[in-house]
Amino acid sequence: MVMTILDGLDSVLYYPVLIVVLLAAGLFFSVRTGIVQLRLFPETIRVVSEKPSTAGKISSFQALMVSTASRVGTGNIVGVSTAVCLGGYGAVFWMWLIAIIGSASAFVESTLAQVYKRRDKNGDSYGGPAYYIETALHNRGLAVVFAVCLIFTYAVGFNMLASYNLQSTFSVYGFYDAKVTPWIIGAILAILVGWCILGGGRRVVKATSTIVPIMGVLYILVSLIVLFSHAKLIPAVFGEIFRNAFDFQAIFSGIAGSCMMYGIKRGLYSNEAGVGSAPNAAAAADVSHPVKQGLVQVLSVFIDTLLICSATALMCLCSGVEPTAEIAGAPYVQESIRTIMGDFGPVFVTVAMVLFAFTTLLGNLFYVDNCLTFIHRKMPSKNFMLGFRLVCAAVILVGAALPMAAAWDIADIMMAVMCLINLPACTVLSNVAVRACRDYVAQKKEGRNPVFHAADIGLDASKLDYWK
């Protein structure tokens, strides 16, 4: 009964509602900005290496690493594998397409986050969709609804999914019992995360934060090794990707389970373009012009989908292991790496997933604190935060034992609601981002390092904390 409701809601939200909104918004922003994601791509590479305007502040590169770290994780491994196994080879093409189109949405939302960012008592900046909805649209009610949706998306939907994805990597081992093992792993994970977010485990957090970037680089290297070890299959795999992607008869005969739908859903989950999460990191960067951070977030989407997701997809599809529903998720990736690394392959994926999922779980919960502060207009009481974090730990336990379909449905539904609030808000405010982009290009043509002043694009600087 519950699965029927979840499946029905998920299907309706994504087709026709969200697929139309995502593609329409991405195309609208692409046209309005003159395809900024491609037109200014060389400038994107230059901007990311700039130092912050003020010494000691967060640079564009650091904000890029924060938003990329939140994106790179279980979605790049399990999400891509699930899309390919359940949707077919063509899902990879639709992930690429949604990244290219969606990167325009990422540009607009992150530029807006910079324009409307706030200043804290230490002089640092913060912001995000809740803040530009409140400040620019003068609608605190909708801003609070968005903040609540973000809390449910990250503390419930995404954390349940991360917990499930982590425990699923153990399913290839002989000791795994589908009725017992998920609960054991979920309990261990819930206790460890609970310990960390309640003030302990600082060394654990520090160690994983150090190891994860290294593991990310190793994962890409392993993907490339597997890919080039099966290089003769690459042309056939690309041919099948495009053939399957444009098999519209198959797509429209069952669109809910088609390569197009799986590619769009898993691509969105992985790169989060337009969801409204990355702007929270973008607002923290210290830059001379909001457009600089908008361009940096375009690069983050490209890194996530066109680089890392593609590495997973091509590694798996070129491994010679046939994608099937039975091995959807982590097992498909593990079996693909096994073709080159033997029995060490599955162990490598398990270690990577444990680290990625653990830091994702912690990051999501610390991330949620900002929205709680926005809703309460201050940091909630210690008793409230204690109760909230204990509930979050319990959610992680439950998530580990969920069926795969339920875990993905819950995350997809939560994410869809965030999109349906953030993208219309960005559309209404798109003139601000477009005018800022024109101002940036005009200053570049004059040979200047662009510096933004709100009044130059017709904004009332007195209502902003920055850009006087």
Quick: pLDDT tens for 45-61. Answer: 888 777 776 666 666 66
d(CA 238, CA 311): 13
The number of beta carbons lying within 10 Å of the beta carbon of residue 442 is: 12
pTM of the full structure? 0.85
pLDDT at 312: 87
- Class of the CATH domain delimited by 2-453: mainly alpha
How far lies 93's CA from each of 77, 97, 106, 219, 263, in Å? 16, 6, 19, 22, 7
- Compute mean pLDDT per 10 residues along the chain, 468 residues long, and list them: 74 73 90 94 85 66 61 75 88 89 93 93 86 94 92 87 88 90 94 80 59 75 86 90 83 69 76 81 86 90 82 88 88 91 90 82 75 85 88 92 79 83 94 96 92 93 90
Torsion sign, CA atoms 421, 422, 423, 427: positive
pLDDT at 69: 58
d(CA 77, CA 269): 12
pLDDT at 207: 59
d(CA 32, CA 117): 23
pLDDT at 397: 93
Residue 62: left (phi > 0), alpha (psi -120 to 50), or beta? alpha
pLDDT at 14: 66
Residues in contact with 269: Cβ distance below 8 Å, sequence separation at least 6, in sequence order: 75, 79, 411, 412, 415
| Angle, alpha carbons 194-199-202 (nearest 5°) | 95
d(CA 240, CA 256): 21
d(CA 120, CA 58): 14
Tokens of residue 382, six digits? 């210690």
Q: Give backbone dihedrals phi and psi of 337, rounded to 5 degrees, phi first.
A: -70, -30
pLDDT at 53: 65
pLDDT at 200: 56
Tokens of residue 157, six digits? 């939907």
pLDDT at 74: 73
